[in-house]
Structure 1
Amino acid sequence: MMERIFAILILVAVILPCGLVAEDRAAGDRMGDPQAGYEHLINTPYLPPYFDQETFDNVWRVWPKTLRDQAEQADADQRRQMAFERYGLTGRVEDPTKPLQYVVDKKGTWTLNCFSCHGGQVDGKTIAGLPNNRFDFAGITDEIRLTKALLGKKLVPTDYSSLVFPMGNNKGTTNAVNFGVALLSLRDADLKLVPGASFPKMLHHDMEPPPWWHFVKKENLYLDGFAPKGHRGLLQFTLVKENKAQAFRDREEDFRDVYAYLNSLEAPKYPGSVDQAQAKQGRIVFHNHCSECHGTHGENADYPERMVPIDVVKTDRARLDSLSPAHREGYGQSWFNSYGQQAGLIADPAGYVAPPLDGVWATAPYLHNGSVPTLWHLLHPDERPKLWRWKSLGYDHQRMGISVEVLDEVPRGLSSIERREVFDTSRFGKSASGHDFPNVLNDTEKADLLEYLKTL
C-alpha cells in the first residue's frame, strides 16, 4: 500500500523530462505549433490537481510569525507576491497575476506544470525556459499541506510527498532524476502499470534544471546524453497512476506542439553593458580553450555535443551513477523511444555532455548540481565557496551570477525554507569540484573570457 501511495506522491514532479526534448524529425510527423505548445503547458492540466485557490490565498497563515504578521497587514495582491517570492514562483509575462509554474483552471484548482523548474526570473525579468533557481518544491509542498489541514480540506497523495521522498535540499534544485527512475519502474514498455512493481534502489541527489533553449542543438538528451531525442519523451512527467497507458497516446499530438514551442526558444540577451574590445579578446580565449567541448558561436556556429569522461571533467558524479544501464535500456525499449526504433541510446555513458553556452549569463548557479554561484567562481576553481547562501534576488553583474554571502558555517536556528537557501558543497551530490580547465588561464584571460560570455 505504501509503495502505491509513494508512487503517486512523487509523480507530480514535472522536472525531469520537461526541458530535454527537441524536434522529432521522423518522416510523416505533423509539424507542431509553438504557440499552441505554450498554451498547452499553461492551460492544460496533465496531472491531478494539487490545491485550490482558497488554499493558496491562505498559505500565509502557516508562515513564521514575523512574516505572517507582515502578510496580515498586506492586501491580497501583496500577499500573493510574498507567496510567489517565498516559493520561487513568477507571474506570466502576459498576465503577472497568474503563476507561470502552475495551470490554474476556471474552478481555481492549481496543477504543477513544466515551468515550475523551467521558467524563472533573472535581473527582474521573467523568462520562460530559464532554469528556475528559486523554486522550492519541498517548501510549497509542506506549507500547502499545513494550510489544507488548517482549513479542514482533504489531503491528496501529493501532500505527503516530501515526507517520504526527498524533493530537493536547495531552492532551485530537485531530486529530478529519481522521480523519473521511480515513475518508469512501475510501468512496462507499453506504459501499462505492472501489478506489484516496486522501486529500484535509488541514489538520491539534487539537480539544477537545464535551460530549454539548449535542446535545439542536441541530438541526444540529458546530462549524460543517453536518450535519443523525440517528442514522446516529453510525456514522461505525466506518468501518474491516474494516467493509463492510452492517455499518453491521446496526448501525443499536444506534445508535438510542446516540443515545437521548446524548439522555438532562443537564449535571452545580456541586458547590461559589454566592453566590446575586451569581449573580442575573450572570444580568442574561448576559441582556444573552450570551443572544443562547448562549441562555437557567430558565423559558422557549431556545437559538437561532446561527451567528456567523468575522470576528465571531475565534477560531482552522483548524477552519472544514479541511472543504471538497465534503467536506460528500459527507457530505450519503451513507447517513449518508439520501442527502440530511435537509434542512439547510450546505456552506459562515460561521463557528461558539455552543454552549449547560449545565454550562459542567465543560468546561474553553475555546474549540473547548482553548486557554483557565479561565472567568476566557475572560472576561478580555487575561489569557489564551500558554503554559501543567497544574499539577495539581485543579479551580480560584476561576477555574473546570483548575489551570495559566503559562510563559515551553517547558521543556527534556520527554518527549513531558510536552510534551503544555504548551499553546502560538502553534502552528497553537492560538490563544486571539477571543471578546473580555467586554471590554465591567467587573470587577464579569465577577465576577457568572462566579458565574452556576456555576448553568447
Structure 2
Amino acid sequence: MKSFKVLLLLGAMCFLYACMLHKTNRKQLHDLANTPMPVRADDEYISLPRYDQPPGDPVKGFEYLKSGEYISSGIPAGLYKWIMRDDKRPVYQLMGYSQNMLIDFNVYTGEHGKKLAAPGCLQCHSTIINDSTIIGLGNSFGYYTTNTSLNLRVAEAAVKAIYGKNSGNYKGSRHILQAGKAVSPLIVTEAWGVNPAERIAEVIAVHRDPRTLSWNGDTSYFPTQQAVIPTDVPAWWLLKKKNAMYYNANGRGSFAKQIMAATLLTLNDTVSANRIHEKMKDVLAYLRQLQPPPYPKAVNNKLVLEGKALFNDNCARCHGTYGKAGSYPNIVVSQPTVGTDSLMAKQYFVQDGYTKWYNNSWFSSGDGPAWFQPEYGYIAPPLDGVWITAPYFHNGAVPTIEAVLNSKLRPEYWTRNFNRTDYDYEKLGWKYQVRKQSSGNRVYNTNLPGYGNYGHTFGDELSKTERDAVIEYLKTL
C-alpha cells in the first residue's frame, strides 16, 4: 500500500511538472511570435553559395550509420532487447513511447567492453510505410509530446541495480542517461509527428564548453528559452543538391560536421569529435548518393506532360527543373515573400546564443569548418521524391500536396491515425480527419505560433484542373 502511494505521488508530481512545462512552452511560443525581428531580409530571393564537401566511402558510411558508436553511450544491449521484445511492448509504452514510433538503435561494444544500444540517425531519418523501410525519409511518427525525464531516472536506477554502479554497463550508459535527463524536459512538442531535432543540439550545447566540448552540467554557456519550434524532418536524398542545411539555410560549410549535431549528446572531448568527424565524411558520401523511391502506381502520362509545363512556368524559379537537363537554383525565399510561419526563421535572430556558441566552437575550426549563418526566410527545397515526404512545410503543418497547392483545403485542426498503411497516393500525403477544435497531442493545432499552415499560396492561382496536372507531374520526380 505504501509503495502504491509513493507511485501515485510520483505520478501526480510528474503530471504537474508536465503541465507547468507545457504552459511555459506555449507562453514562450507566443512571446517569440510577438517579439519584433531585429533584422529584416532585404531581398526576396537570396542565392546560396556552394562549399566544397569532403570525399568519402559510401559503403563504409552506410555501415557506420547503422552500427557506429557516434552516440558513444547507450543502455545495456541485453536490457534494450528485453524492452523491445514483442511480448514486452507494454513496458516500452509505459516508458512514454508510442507503439507506432520507429525505433532504430545502434548496437556496438562500448569503451568499457560491454555491448550497448544507442539511438542512431535512422531513428529520425528512416520510415516504415506499408512494411517497407525507406532510408532517408524523415520520420513523421516521432513522439516527443511527453517529458520522459522521470522514466530515464527510473532506467538509470534499474541499470545501477541490475548491473552495479561500478559495472561497465552502468559506466557505458551514464552519459546518455545524463544527457537524456537534461534534454527531455526541454524538447516537448505540442503535436505528435513533429520533431525537435535542432532544439536537442541547442540544449546540450548549453552545457558544453565550445572549444573543448567537455560537459559541465552546472554551467550555461548561453541563455536559452523553453519554446520548442516544431520541425518536419527533410529527406536525406535532397542533401546532394543543397548548398546549405536546415530550412533557414543555417548550416554552412562542411556538411560532415553539420550532420554531427546529435553527437553532442555524448561527446567526451575534441579527440572523440575528430574521430567521429572522419567517419562522418563517409556517412556524408552515402547520403549524397541516396535516391528517392519511385512512385509505385501508374500515372496519366498526358497529364504529366501538362503538369510539367505548368510546373516549369510557375514553380521552377524556386524549386528547380528535373530530368537529365534539370537544375536547382539553391535560393532562400524571404519570409515576407513566402509568408509561411516565421518562428523557425525568426528564432535564430531573436535568440542567437546557440549560433554564437557554434561559430566559436570546435565545429567552426580545424579540418572542414562549419558555421551557422541563418537567413530570415526558408530554402525552397528540391522536390525529388516529394510525393512520399508528407506532411509538408518546414513544420509539417499541411497533410497533403493537394492542400499545399490549394490553401483553402488546409485544415485548422487535423489528426491522423498514425497507421503506416494510411498514405494517400492520389492527394499525396497522409489520410487525415478534420477536427473542430484542438484536443490532445494527436491533433495538430495550426493556430499555435510555430505550427501555422499559412503562406505559400502560389498554387491558389491555378485552376483545379491545373493543380491536378501539377500533382500528377510531382508523382514522377
TM-score normalised to structure 2 length: 0.75
| Contact 1:389-1:404 at 8 Å conserved across structures | yes
Tell me the residue number matched to 1:119.
Answer: 126
| Cα distance in 2 for residues equivalent to 1:40 and 1:298 | 32
Q: Report deviation, 1:77.
A: 4.3
Query: Are 2:147 and 2:184, in contact at CA under 8 Å, matched by a contact in 1?
Result: no
Range with bigger deviation, 166-175 or 390-399 = 166-175
Q: CA RMSD in A?
A: 3.2
The alpha-carbon deviation at position 141 of structure 1 amounts to: 4.3
- Rounded Cα–Cα distance in structure 2 between residues aligned with 1:82 and 1:279: 49
Q: Secondary structure, in 3 states, of the residue corresponding to 1:86?
A: coil
Which of 438, 447, 450 matches 1:429? 450
The answer for unaligned runs of 5 or more in structure 1 is 1-22, 61-75, 91-98, 412-418
- Measured after TM superposition, the shift of residue 216 of structure 1 is 0.4
1:336 maps to 2:363: yes
Where 2:247 maps in the other structure, the secondary structure is coil
Aligned equivalent of 2:408, options 382, 385, 388: 382
Q: Deviation per CA, 1:336-355, whole angstroms, max 9, x where unpaired?
A: 23369869x67451311110
Change (3 A) 1:288 1:396: same
1:170-199: CA deviations, max 9, x gaps? Answer: 333222222223333444553434863344
Deviation, 1:219, is 1.4
Instruction: Give the 3 Å change call, closer, same or farther, for CA 442–215 of structure 1 in structure 2.
Output: same
Q: What amino acid is aligned across from residue 46 of structure 1 in structure 2? A: Y
Q: Is the CA contact (8 Å cut-off) linking 2:71 and 2:266 kept in structure 1?
A: no
| 2:377 counterpart (333, 338, 351) | 351
1:209 CA displacement: 1.0
Aligned-partner Cα distance in 1 for 2:100–2:63: 21
Q: Structure 2 counterpart of 1:268, which letter?
A: P
8 Å Cα contact 1:366-1:374 kept in structure 2: yes
Q: Which residue of 1 aligns with 2:57?
A: 33
Q: Note if contact 1:88-1:132 (Cα within 8 Å) is conserved in structure 2.
A: no
**2:443 is aligned with 1:400:** no
CA distance in 1, matches of 2:80, 2:443: 26
Are the aligned partners of 2:257 and 2:369 in contact in 1 as well (CA < 8 Å)? no
The answer to whether 1:276 aligns with 2:301 is yes
Change (3 A) 1:291 1:402: same
Quick check: 2:183–2:204 contact (8 Å CA) kept in 1?
no
> What is the distance in 1 between the residues matched to 2:150 and 2:88?
15
Matches within 5 A, 1:407-418: 407-411=435-439
Deviation at 1:131, TM superposition (A): 0.3
Residue 59 of structure 1 contacts residue 143 of structure 1 at CA under 8 Å; is this kept in 2? Answer: no
C-alpha distance in structure 2 between counterparts of 1:275 and 1:79, whole Å: 47
What's 1:51 paired with? 75
C-alpha distance in 2, partners of 1:224/1:88?
A: 30
In structure 1, the residue matched to 2:396 is 370
Return the TM-score normalized by structure 1.
0.78
Secondary structure at 2:416's aligned position in 1? strand
1:303 alignment partner, one of 321, 324, 328? 328
| DSSP 3-state at the match of 2:340 | coil
CA distance in 1, matches of 2:442, 2:91: 16
Q: Is the 8 A contact 2:306 2:470 kept in 1?
A: yes
Aligned AA for 2:259?
L
Give, in whole Å, the separation in 1 of the partners of 2:183 and 2:211: 29
Once residues 164 and 143 of structure 1 are traced to their aligned partners in structure 2, the CA distance between those partners, rounded to angstroms, is: 10
Query: How big is each residue's C-alpha offset from its partner over 1:76-133, in whole Å with a ceiling of 9 and x where there is no partner?
Result: 546669969935444xxxxxxxx5x211236663201111111112343211110001
User: Which position in structure 2 is the counterpart of 1:219?
Assistant: 243
| Distance in 2, Cα, partners of 1:197 & 1:139 | 24
Compared CA separation, residues 350 and 339, structure 1 to 2 (3 A):
farther
The residue type equivalent to 2:473 in the other structure is Y
Structure 2: how far apart are the matches of 1:405 and 1:143?
33
Q: CA deviation at 1:402?
A: 0.9
> Is residue 334–residue 377 contact of structure 2 (8 Å, CA) maintained in 1?
yes
Question: Post-superposition shift, 1:258?
Answer: 0.8
1:240 aligns with 2:235: no
Structure 2 unaligned regions, length at least 5: 1-49, 162-173
- Residue in structure 2 matched with residue 455 of structure 1 by the alignment: 476
> What residue identity is the alignment partner of 1:405?
Q
Q: Secondary structure at the match of 1:221?
A: coil
Q: Does 1:205 align with 2:229?
A: yes
Q: Shift in Å at residue 272 of structure 1?
A: 1.5
1:215 maps to a residue whose letter is: L
Confirm or deny: 8 A CA contact 1:361 1:454 kept in the other structure.
yes
Whole-Å separation in 2 of the counterparts to 1:430 and 1:271: 31
| Superimposed CA distance per residue, residues 400-439 of structure 1 (whole angstroms, 9 cap, x where no aligned partner) | 111211111244xxxxxxx433211122311111111111
User: 1:182 aligns to what?
Assistant: 203
Residue 103 in 1 paired to residue 106 in 2? Answer: yes
Q: Aligned partners of 1:298 and 1:163: how far apart in 2?
A: 43
In the aligned structure 1, how far is the partner of 2:327 from the partner of 2:130?
Answer: 29
Q: Distance in 2 between matches of 1:409 and 1:390?
A: 14
- 2:347 matched to which residue of 1? 322
CA drift of 1:33 comes to 1.0
Matched, 1:130 2:122: no
Q: Which one-letter code corresponds to 2:143 in the other structure?
A: D
**1:276-311 alpha-carbon deviations (Å, 9 max, x no partner):** 111111101110111100000013111111110100
Q: Output one character per residue of 1:295-332: Cα deviation in whole Å (capped at 9) or x when no partner.
A: 00013111111110100111111111222356435434
* Residue of structure 1 in register with 2:9 after alignment: none
Residues 187 and 199 in structure 2, CA contact (< 8 A), matched pair in contact too? no
Post-superposition shift, 1:134?
Answer: 0.8
Identity of aligned residues (%): 28
Q: Is the CA contact (8 Å cut-off) linking 1:32 and 1:258 kept in structure 2?
A: yes
- Structure 2 CA distance, aligned partners of 1:82 and 1:365? 30
Per the TM alignment, residue 362 of structure 1 is displaced from its structure 2 partner at its CA by: 0.8
Relative to structure 1, is the Cα distance of residues 341 and 259 closer, same or farther in structure 2, using a 3 angstrom cutoff?
closer
Q: CA deviation at 1:35?
A: 1.5
Aligned in 2, Cα 1:280/1:153: closer, same or farther, shift over 3 Å? Answer: farther
